[in-house]
């Protein structure tokens, strides 16, 4: 069978500045493995690393190259927690699993930064905190509630008022924010490449340009066809997130694969760079349309948010984000914006990440809902535990059935109108 042509990396700042990738040649000989992992983003690579650390043979099959998907193209923010508040998580999943989920999800950033230190992954990682910021009364009330719930559970978070935020961000836009000192940032493509390198050094196989074309049972094992070779695996993990195809029935219809976009400036002058978030936390806004940003270690501003629902290639494709940044910091007028790019992430209907086990020895993990940098890294350790089985097989996330979203075919219309409605509501502050 002919191999489909490999797609280049999106034209991002990261593609131009990442560390070199380890060799991950296409798979060209049949293999028998304990665990085959489909998808070479943070989820797949971290699972492979954690399996290999425990001596379990893991083979990653990646259609393009490791980090090609959302993992190598995201905002680079390592943010603790889930979209839902801790009280909501406990109400949804009960005191036992709910509490374990909270500990796990709020622990993901320390886990990730610890892993980076342990493997000395060169990816510009810092832990200067995450600001979850509100610019209208409704979001301010919600953030206050979240902060109280986190404080009650002894977490290292603080509610900041408008004056403190003016100091911290250099703009007057925010009424309040929750600062979580466990948050931080990193260079996502360097991190993905570092994870791939660590997984390979620990004994895993990682193959780029190797799409899984079909997946079916073959006796007691699973058979995965790729363009040049066939893989027989005892167990399979699907980790394809926003690029999920029809490999597993109905899975594609359980997520909405939305694009998120980022624009990056050239390195700012010292004076301008110091005037924007001088202590270098990361920030995401709590609104109908999330805007997120950070200043990287070279003093560039990376501004992210919703953009066109198609692939883009230049900052002019995300003029909305640039105008927004100039409204926050008028001193940016005339600054050069060098890159504009995007990628796809997976949103689930309930906004929780989803783990499924639809058949014996098949595990699926997807739907980090825009918070996957730390979450999918830490999920990798949980998924490895599940795949190894035995006494430690219970994980700190619910395992649910595959439930396609009703009227899924209409998601592009739904997302476009939600984005437009969200922008109008955000502009009106309602």
Among 165, 303, 363, 373, binds ligand FAD (CB under 6 A): 373
Choosing from 21, 27, 51, 68, the residue that interacts with ligand FAD (CB under 6 A) is 68
43 binds ligand FAD per the rule CB under 6 A: yes
> Which residue in the set 39, 183, 194, 287 belongs to the binding site for ligand FAD (CB under 6 A)?
39
Q: Which two tokens stand for residue 230?
A: 């066939």
- Residue 89's SS3 state is helix
CA nearest to 225, candidates 246, 195, 247, 250: 247
Q: Which is nearer to ligand FAD, 84 or 344 (CB)?
A: 344
Please list the helix, strand and coil fractions of the chain in percent, rounded to the nearest 5, in that order: 35, 25, 40
CA 63/CA 3 separation, integer angstroms? 10
| Binding flag, residue 372, ligand FAD (CB under 6 A) | yes
Torsions phi, psi for 27 (to 5 deg): -75, 125
Q: Nearer to ligand FAD by C-beta: 63 or 328? A: 63
List the one residue out of 414, 409, 403 whose CA is nearest residue 366: 403
Distance CA 180, CA 159 (A): 9
- For residues 319 and 18, is the Cβ–Cβ distance under 8 A? no
Query: Which range in 65-73, 149-157, 320-328, 402-410 contacts ligand FAD by CB under 6 A?
Result: 65-73
CA atoms within 13 A on the CB side of 138: 8
Which candidate, 167, 410, 383, 417, places its Cα nearest to that of 279? 167
Q: Is 382 in the site for ligand FAD (CB under 6 A)?
A: no
Q: Choose between 319 and 430: whose C-beta lies nearer to ligand FAD.
A: 319
Interaction pattern, residues 96-115, with ligand FAD; x per rule: CB under 6 A: --------------------
Q: What residues between 178 and 237 interact with ligand FAD by CB under 6 A?
A: 211-212
CB of 430 to ligand FAD, least distance (A): 26
CA pair distance 45, 380, nearest whole angstrom? 8
Applying CB under 6 A, among 10, 41, 257, 340 the residue interacting with ligand FAD is: 41
To the nearest whole angstrom, how small is the minimum distance from the Cβ of residue 192 to ligand FAD?
Answer: 7
Q: Is 215 left (phi over 0), alpha (psi -120 to 50) or beta?
A: beta
130 makes contact with ligand FAD (CB under 6 A): no
Q: In whole angstroms, how close is the CB of 187 to ligand FAD at the nearest point?
A: 12
Quick check: 247 binds ligand FAD (CB under 6 A)?
yes
CA–CA separation, 149 vs 152, rounded Å?
5
Residue nearest to ligand FAD (CB): 372
Q: Which is nearer to ligand FAD, 130 or 136 (CB)?
A: 130
Residues 292-351 that bind ligand FAD (CB under 6 A): 292, 304, 342-345
Please choose, out of 13-21, 267-275, 313-321, 372-380, the segment that lies near ligand FAD by the rule CB under 6 A.
372-380
Which CB sits closer to ligand FAD, 171 or 342?
342
Closest CA to 296 of 313, 321, 277: 277
**Count of residues in contact with ligand FAD, rule CB under 6 A:** 45
What tokens appear for 357 in the block? 């086990």
Radius of gyration of the chain (CA): 21
63 binds ligand FAD (CB under 6 A): yes
Contacts of 319 (CB under 8 A, 6+ apart): none
Q: Which residues make up the interface to ligand FAD (CB under 6 A)?
A: 38-44, 61-64, 68-71, 73-77, 79, 211-212, 239-243, 245, 247, 260, 262, 292, 304, 342-345, 368, 370-374, 376
């Amino acid at each position: 069978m002919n191999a489909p042509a490999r797609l280049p990396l999106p034209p991002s700042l990261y593609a131009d500045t990442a560390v070199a990738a380890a060799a991950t040649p296409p798979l060209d000989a049949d293999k028998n493995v304990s665990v085959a992992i489909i998808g070479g983003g943070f989820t797949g690579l971290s699972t492979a690393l954690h399996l290999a650390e425990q001596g379990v043979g893991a083979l990653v099959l990646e259609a393009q190259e490791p980090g090609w998907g959302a993992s190598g193209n995201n905002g680079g923010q390592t943010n603790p927690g889930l979209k839902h508040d801790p009280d909501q998580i406990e109400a949804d999943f009960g005191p036992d699993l709910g509490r374990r989920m909270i500990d796990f999800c709020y622990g993901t950033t320390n886990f990730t930064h610890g892993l980076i230190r342990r493997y000395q992954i060169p990816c510009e990682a810092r832990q200067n905190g995450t600001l979850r910021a509100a610019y209208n009364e409704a979001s301010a009330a919600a953030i206050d509630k979240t902060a109280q719930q986190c404080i009650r559970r002894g977490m290292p978070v603080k509610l900041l008022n408008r004056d403190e935020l003016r100091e911290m961000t250099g703009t007057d836009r925010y009424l309040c924010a929750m600062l979580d000192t466990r948050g931080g940032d990193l260079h996502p493509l360097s991190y993905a490449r570092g994870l791939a390198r660590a997984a390979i050094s620990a004994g895993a196989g990682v193959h780029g340009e190797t799409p899984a074309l079909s997946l079916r049972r073959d006796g007691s094992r699973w058979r995965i066809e790729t363009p040049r070779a066939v893989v027989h695996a005892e167990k399979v993990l699907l980790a394809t997130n926003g690029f999920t195809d029809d490999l597993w029935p109905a899975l594609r219809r359980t997520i909405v694969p939305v694009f998120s976009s980022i624009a990056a400036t050239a390195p700012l002058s010292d004076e301008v760079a110091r005037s924007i978030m001088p202590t270098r936390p990361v920030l995401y806004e709590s609104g109908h349309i999330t805007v997120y940003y950070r200043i990287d270690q070279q003093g560039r501003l990376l501004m992210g948010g919703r953009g066109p629902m198609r692939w883009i290639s230049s900052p002019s494709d995300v003029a909305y984000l640039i105008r927004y940044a100039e409204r926050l910091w008028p001193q940016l007028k005339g600054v050069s914006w060098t890159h504009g790019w995007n990628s796809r992430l997976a949103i689930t209907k309930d906004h929780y990440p989803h783990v499924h086990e639809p058949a014996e020895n098949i595990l699926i993990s997807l739907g980090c809902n825009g918070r996957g940098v730390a979450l999918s890294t830490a999920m990798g350790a949980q998924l490895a535990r599940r795949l190894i089985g035995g006494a430690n097989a219970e994980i700190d996330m619910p395992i649910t059935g595959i439930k396609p979203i009703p009227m899924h075919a209409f998601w592009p219309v739904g997302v476009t109108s939600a984005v437009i409605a969200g922008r109008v509501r955000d502009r009106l502050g309602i």
